[in-house]
Homo-oligomer: A and B are copies of this chain.
Amino acid sequence: MDELTFERRDTSASPASDSQPLYRQLADHYRRAIGNGVLRAGDRMPSMRAFMQRHGVSLATATESYRVLERVALIEARPRSGYFVRAPLAALPAVAEPDPALLPGSAQFVGIHATISALVSKFQRYPQALNLGGTTASPDLYPTEALRQATLRALRREPTLLTAAGPDFGDPALRAVIARRVLESGIEIGADEVIMTHGGIEAVNLALRAVTQPGDTVAVESPCFFGLLQVLESLGLRALEIPASPSTGLAIDALSFALQHHPDIKAVVVVPNLQNPLGSVMPDAHKASLVELCTRAGVALIEDDPYRELVDGEPAPKSLKAWDTNGTVIHCTSFNKTLAPGMRIGWINGGRWHPRVGMLKFAQSRHNERLAQVVLAGFLETGAYARHLRRLRDSLRLQRERMAAAITVAFPEGTRFTSPRGGQCFWVELPAALSSAALFDAALDDGLRIMPGTVFSNTGRFDHFIRLSCPSTDLELLDDAVRRLGSLARRMLERGDAHTDVHADTHAAKR
């Protein structure tokens, strides 16, 4: 089959893609056709002219659609012949679902800090390393100039923003606009039920402090964002790790089992949308069950939801809080990942512990600096935030697609990885013989920073995983980084030094 014919209606009817520009909808359409095997390697793509006629689009749209497909390595141009579907990528399987027989073990005091400190001191010796380990997008994807202008305007309108003390719990205008905006994610709260915090991490700290005492047990997802494990450690709490699925997140059955057998669980912490590091998005039915389960058990459900608006498509998925009827859910989120990593603005709704959360916030750090809050309130009031999010998601999707192709080609056989529906992180399972700690050392020596799986659990279960992110809009740079990382991994496997610190070795190789 040389070409495909499409019904015009087919292209425009997909409800999920209505918010996408036309070139993107068309590119998606062909991507699905390639993914489904309707178009196969070596098939010729429609000529530009045919494409324009069939879809009733301009040359610019047609060109842009092919450019997208070309950038994600699905098609290639052959001189004087047109575009062809590329040879299929080696089919790397997805990360496995957790073993249903894997039941939560015993709760443990966390001892992750020493491991993280060791990583950090190594980072600091390589300040120029490309950071493939983070969750913050490339600075050029954030609206730097718009926020700068908004800051200048705010200071013109209210020159004492820096010198007058702000109101407790945050800027009233910002709290009001947040309360209005979260209606869309199914959350019904008043402005006074929003407390501004220093990023999402302070919100999670306050939530845990509100509902636990040192020595208590907290159920967390496994693998789990290492920052949460650090918070538990710093508060003297025990972590009980509950298996999580790369596609649907926390295993509700496993949590239910844990709640029956561990009556000392005081809270459950969940990242429902784009779980970190799995990238899973919990289906609505799971969200409803989870809230119901915690409500029945009388256990606080702490929802850490900073990535919700990075999920592909519109509307974004709902928050757990949308199913909360009696204040069981403490909702924590931030604008660090979606809008402005430098502004450190998060917020919390404390559910039925809201007054206690307010007391703790006041005692811990008073109100936030007001300038950034005023800037943010103005930005959220306009359509600028929604437009920015669309651009950010589009770019991250392109980066992920390119990175996925690169990993498939470059990494050794036996590698598996997730295909998240948003954000910029992959959870990569290396061949079992390869230690992520050893790869971390070798990569750093080669100018690449990755996040080893060792810090995402207290159990050692993920020591051959890495969290790998696509932190740049420069796709060639991503290709090159993944190529280098993949060949390091292959070499380590071949040489059998995959489980040792390869520092000395790599230095020797350079000489």
Of A1-9, A340-348, A488-496, the stretch lying at the interface with chain B is A340-348
A182 within 8 A of B: no
A487 within 8 A of B: no
B201 touching A366 by the CB < 8 A rule?
A: yes
The residue of chain B having its C-beta at the shortest distance from the C-beta of A368 within the complex is B344
Residues in B with CB closer than 8 Å to A115 are none
B162 touching A147 by the CB < 8 A rule?
A: yes
- Among residues 320 to 375 in chain A, which have CB atoms less than 8 Å away from a CB atom of chain B? 336, 340-344, 359-360, 362-372, 375
A164 within 8 A of B: yes
Residues in B with CB closer than 8 Å to A214 are 213-214
Give bound CA distance, A343 to B201, whole Å: 20
B234 touching A360 by the CB < 8 A rule?
A: yes
The residue of chain B having its C-beta at the shortest distance from the C-beta of A339 within the complex is B163
A160 touching B144 by the CB < 8 A rule?
A: yes
Taking the closest CB of chain B, its distance from the CB of A465, in whole angstroms, is: 23
B162 touching A145 by the CB < 8 A rule?
A: no
Taking the closest CB of chain B, its distance from the CB of A27, in whole angstroms, is: 28
Give the contacting residue for A365; candidates B152, B199, B230; CB below 8 A: B199
A54 within 8 A of B: no
B234 touching A117 by the CB < 8 A rule?
A: no
A259 within 8 A of B: no
Taking the closest CB of chain B, its distance from the CB of A438, in whole angstroms, is: 25
Counting every copy of the chain, the complex holds 2
Give bound CA distance, A162 to B142, whole Å: 9
The residue of chain B having its C-beta at the shortest distance from the C-beta of A375 within the complex is B162
A28 within 8 A of B: no
- Among residues 228 to 247 in chain A, which have CB atoms less than 8 Å away from a CB atom of chain B? 230-231, 233-234, 236
A166 within 8 A of B: yes
A180 within 8 A of B: no
B363 touching A231 by the CB < 8 A rule?
A: yes
A98 within 8 A of B: no
Residues in B with CB closer than 8 Å to A163 are 139, 142-144, 147, 340-343
A59 within 8 A of B: no
A29 within 8 A of B: no
Taking the closest CB of chain B, its distance from the CB of A131, in whole angstroms, is: 10
A155 within 8 A of B: yes
The residue of chain B having its C-beta at the shortest distance from the C-beta of A210 within the complex is B234
A164 touching B139 by the CB < 8 A rule?
A: yes
B370 touching A342 by the CB < 8 A rule?
A: yes
Q: Known contacts being A148-B155, A201-B364, A363-B205, is A161 close to B342, with CB within 8 Å?
A: yes
A363 touching B230 by the CB < 8 A rule?
A: yes
A164 touching B341 by the CB < 8 A rule?
A: yes
6 nearest A-B residue pairs (beta carbon): A142-B163, A165-B341, A234-B363, A198-B365, A202-B365, A230-B363
Chain A interface (Cβ < 8 Å from any Cβ of B) = 113, 117, 120, 136, 139, 142-145, 147-148, 151-152, 155, 159-166, 168, 197-199, 201-202, 205, 209, 213-214, 227, 230-231, 233-234, 236, 336, 340-344, 359-360, 362-372, 375
Give 12 A-B pairs besides A142-B160, A151-B151, A163-B341 with Cβ atoms closer than 8 angstroms: A136-B165, A143-B163, A144-B159, A144-B162, A162-B343, A163-B343, A197-B365, A230-B359, A342-B369, A342-B371, A364-B364, A371-B371
